[in-house]
A and B are shown apart, each in its own frame.
Chain A
Amino acid sequence: MIERHLKRWAPRRTRREHLGDDALLEALLARLDPTAPPSRHTTHVTSCEPCSAAVSRLGASLDEATRAARYVADETIGADRLARQLEVIDRRLDGQPARLLRFPVRARAMRTQPGARRWVAMAAACGLLFGLAAGRMLGPAPAPSDAGAWPTGAADREASSAHEPVLADEHLLVEVDAALARTLHREFRVLDELTPRSVDVRRGRR
């Protein structure tokens, strides 16, 4: 029935006008994909020489653009880059970190007041941990990070459960997102009040 409809529709179209841009693209994609159902424009394209030529030209320009993009990308990927990648993969499979970030030497030379600094750092860390723990207990359960995301397959589900080194800042941002998504902010304010501030510590020292 569909074919009969297409046959009736196609000659009318041939008499009337050539195919527009969208129809040409549709015809081209149908031509390129052998598993695709036949396009409603196929009949027209086979019988109309200018449209057939236009589809071919469109295909050629698409190929040309693709070649250009691929060429530019390939030129960016040099042998040394691939070797570096392989080296990092190798190191990671050995269980070593991908890269080593050195702590700036200058910072070590800075004059420190060990007691106060340690106290402030410990208080901040405790406050953060306490806040996060309380947030987890008091607030509703955070939505899983994959909610509404791309559908994943078995292989990827397996892969995502791997014990990958998690970046601390990434984790913190996830926690911040989750905390803000909750409606219970009062508890955080109370905890915030309990936590000493660096300004107060500095005043106290003076």
Chain B
Amino acid sequence: MGPSGTALPSPSSDVDVAATVKACLAAGDTQGAREHYGDLVRRHQRKATRIALYYLRDSAEADEAVQDAFVKAYTHLQTFEYGRSFEVWFTRILVNSCLDRVKSRSRRSRWMVAAEDLGDANPMDRAATPRHWSPEARTLERERGRRLMEAIGRLPERQRLVVVLSQLEGASTREVSDMTGLRETTIRVHLFRGLRRLRTLLADDPVFRRADADGGHSA
């Protein structure tokens, strides 16, 4: 999957790359398939890691979930239908990979002693900020992001998933439906409830109150 020595065609869309990988696999060209698949991984890796991180709130677990998902996607690429969105298809695999980890985590917490504070309890704390920002702006942005992530982590599972995919990653209701297998009306309900809950959780947070203080609305 590393840099290729041979000249490869540069397919434009994900679906084309996926089709090329499938064609390479069918022709027994594993090397070619892996090179093209590497391109596909690079395109979606960041977003996938972000989703897993939002959802699992643990750096190492997020990485493993993403790796699992990419390996599964490669293994089952034959089932991917041309014309469908690769991103939606892959995100569904990723979401299930994250859910498996959540289930496994709850099982472990029942039977094993939790490893408290392994030095990476909150990966968000390590985030860097652009140099051109003022120290206050940097602190505020980081703090807002961190608080929001914490609040998202406190949402019920389905609300969290829908808020992450729909609100944070900007997927449409139809796409979220394809990714999660939930009905569109159910997604709208979960999104509404999730955002309402987030609002309640962050209502007393000075970091967010400060942002809202600019405009008032008397209800």
Contact = CB atoms under 8 A, between A and B. Distances in A.
A90 interface: yes
Interface in B67-111: 67-68, 70-76, 79-80, 89, 92-93, 95-96, 99, 103-104, 107-108, 110-111
B127 A159 contact: no
Interface of B: 1-2, 34, 37-38, 41-42, 45-46, 49-50, 53-54, 59, 63-64, 66-68, 70-76, 79-80, 89, 92-93, 95-96, 99, 103-104, 107-108, 110-111, 123-124, 126-129, 141-142, 144-146, 148-149, 152, 167-168, 172-174, 180-182, 184, 188, 191-192, 195-196, 199, 202, 208, 211-212, 214-215, 217-219
B211 to A, nearest CB: 6
A46 interface: no
B190 to A, nearest CB: 11
Interface of A: 17-22, 24-26, 29, 33, 35-36, 50-51, 53-54, 57, 61-62, 64-66, 68-77, 81-82, 84-86, 88-90, 92-93, 98, 145, 149-156, 158-160, 162, 164, 170, 173-174, 176-177
Given A25-B199, A156-B92, A92 B71 contact: yes
17 contacts: A20-B219, A22-B196, A29-B191, A33-B173, A33-B188, A36-B188, A50-B218, A76-B127, A82-B42, A86-B41, A89-B67, A150-B99, A150-B180, A152-B96, A155-B79, A159-B93, A159-B96
B219 A17 contact: yes
Given A69-B54, A154-B79, A159-B76, A35 B173 contact: yes
A57 B217 contact: yes
The main secondary structure of chain B at its interface with chain A is helix
A71 B45 contact: no
Nearest to B34: A93
Contacts of B103: 145, 149
A90 to B, nearest CB: 5
B111 A81 contact: no
Given A72-B141, A150-B180, 17 more contacts: A21-B196, A21-B219, A24-B217, A33-B188, A53-B217, A61-B211, A72-B124, A72-B142, A77-B50, A85-B63, A86-B41, A89-B70, A89-B71, A155-B93, A159-B76, A164-B71, A174-B107
Q: Which of B49, B80, B103 neighbours the largest number of chain A CB atoms within 10 Å of its CB?
A: B49
